[in-house]
Chain A
């Protein structure tokens, strides 16, 4: 439950950022630089005098939307490919496994650099990298479990009733294989936020002055001795999001596995 509340708070903050703080995230005000937390600036200000609370909330928009969209895309693609590989004919399975391994063997940073070189730095590039990195792993998880369920008695029973491949996969296989993946995916969301932050820092993702947690954190590092609140403003949301989605993952597991729930 704690996870759900935390995640809802993060999403709410991002969605209603404009209503929650009056200060504009990108308005530079050199007079107000390096101010500590106060009522006017809940999290203080940075080296350009921008309101950090406003930047954190607006940064959350980017971080969360990048994370949610790219993880959702990875999930859909990974599940579909995994089900096909696991349930389909042997040769197709072998071919797809080869493909997954080929993609996986690229180092993430190389992949990112290659994409940015091709298409220029943008949020889309970040998301494509995340999808490419995650899909092979997700598909493999689904594929392994599907393979195990392919000859399960309840699957044979469904076939014997006349259920076609689509129905068998949707109604009988998917509900039994999706649980662990959803847990993994929700725990991957903070990782994606970190990737976004990292790429933004390298100049491969969000360009300044667009607010981003990674960028705030990096700004904070340079001045961490004198003005620690900048690093805290960048780091705190990352920590809270990590916790929130991790707990959410655990809640999801209870929902998706009635057997565990029965045991309490």
Chain B
């Protein structure tokens, strides 16, 4: 196991100083990532997935829980102790162009990790090697980020992420803002590199189609909690949590004649400032029963498939015609 996360909580404080309100952005998340495996964190905006990624990298203070990367605790590490860990844990951020320093040339950007960690190397040669690994010619060394297309900037981000042969890459929405034809290129590249370099990956996304093709295991997040986790194929075949089933059915597919069988959700996402009691999904869940509004479903913190629901769905379940609670 390369990364373990246990009962992780991140709290933000919002509002004016006389009325600070705590917001639980990540509310007790546990999962493991094995060496060489791809793990996907799926959820809609506000589900806490980016905050979670920042916490793993030590960019975000946590309020509770434990994290260990390569058997070293993250949350208790000082900045000095974090630095060697970060050498083995690379991050890719949402905005492909915005995550590159605008006044630095591509050639300098990709070898930035060498400079940060004071590693002696022929930097020009390394830049060329890294760029060719991601399929960019050496000419790109002299370009500035604003002269790159979204797909090219994303490749530069990938090159920089693999510069020091990390053990783990955390990719936040690696295909956001990319055209469909380019999206595939980036995912193929990540897959190739993962196989060739044997690295583990955490992919954070709201795009389920992407998850299906790249992830070995996945976890679905709702309001900062993991509501269901397991093998990707299994979860696509038989989603057990109503939220997972809804997300899967909400994915528009490029076929006008496809039978939609969509599960529609009655209400908007609740505010993190006013979390619903019981099962937090019950305000929107078509299957919700009286019990769901009172009792919090048990969440198992194991590695195997787990579902935080009182009545997990059978494969292919359809929502009842009327909700049993209002």
Contacts and interface: CB of A to CB of B under 8 A. Distances in A.
Contacts of B90: 160-161
A152 B83 CA distance: 20
Contacts of B79: 164
A256 B93 CA distance: 26
A153 B87 contact: no
B93 A156 contact: yes
Contacts of A154: 98-102
B93 to A, nearest CB: 5
A205 to B, nearest CB: 39
Interface in B244-296: none
Chain A, interface residues (CB within 8 Å), range:
20 to 34
Contacts of B95: 153
A157 B93 CA distance: 7
B112 A160 contact: no
Contact of B113 (A161, A172, A256): A161
A176 interface: yes
Contact of A160 (B59, B103, B104): B59
Interface in B50-86: 54, 57, 59, 79, 82-84, 86
B243 to A, nearest CB: 29
Which residue of A153, A167, A171 has the most chain B CB atoms within 10 A of its CB atom? A153
B82 A162 contact: yes
Interface in B105-147: 112-113, 115-117, 144, 146-147
B94 interface: yes
B116 A153 contact: no
A6 interface: no
Contact of A262 (B86, B87, B98, B147): B147
A30 interface: no
B91 interface: yes
B103 A161 contact: no
Contacts of A176: 101-103
Contact-residue bracket for chain B: 20 to 34
Given A161-B116, A162-B116, A153 B102 contact: no
A163 interface: yes
A225 interface: no
A258 B94 CA distance: 23
Interface string A159-179: 111111001000110011000
A232 to B, nearest CB: 43
Contacts of B98: 152-154
Contact of B103 (A156, A162, A175): A175
A154, A164, A171, A172 interface centre (most CB from chain B within 10 Å): A154
Interface of A: 152-154, 156-164, 167, 171-172, 175-176, 256, 258-259, 262
28 contacts: A152-B98, A153-B95, A154-B100, A154-B102, A156-B99, A157-B91, A158-B101, A158-B112, A159-B59, A160-B90, A160-B91, A161-B86, A162-B82, A162-B84, A162-B113, A163-B112, A163-B116, A164-B83, A172-B101, A175-B101, A175-B103, A176-B101, A258-B102, A258-B103, A258-B144, A258-B146, A259-B102, A259-B146
Given A153-B98, A160-B93, 19 more contacts: A152-B98, A153-B95, A154-B98, A154-B100, A157-B100, A158-B101, A160-B86, A161-B112, A162-B86, A162-B87, A162-B116, A167-B116, A171-B101, A175-B101, A175-B103, A176-B101, A258-B146, A259-B102, A262-B146
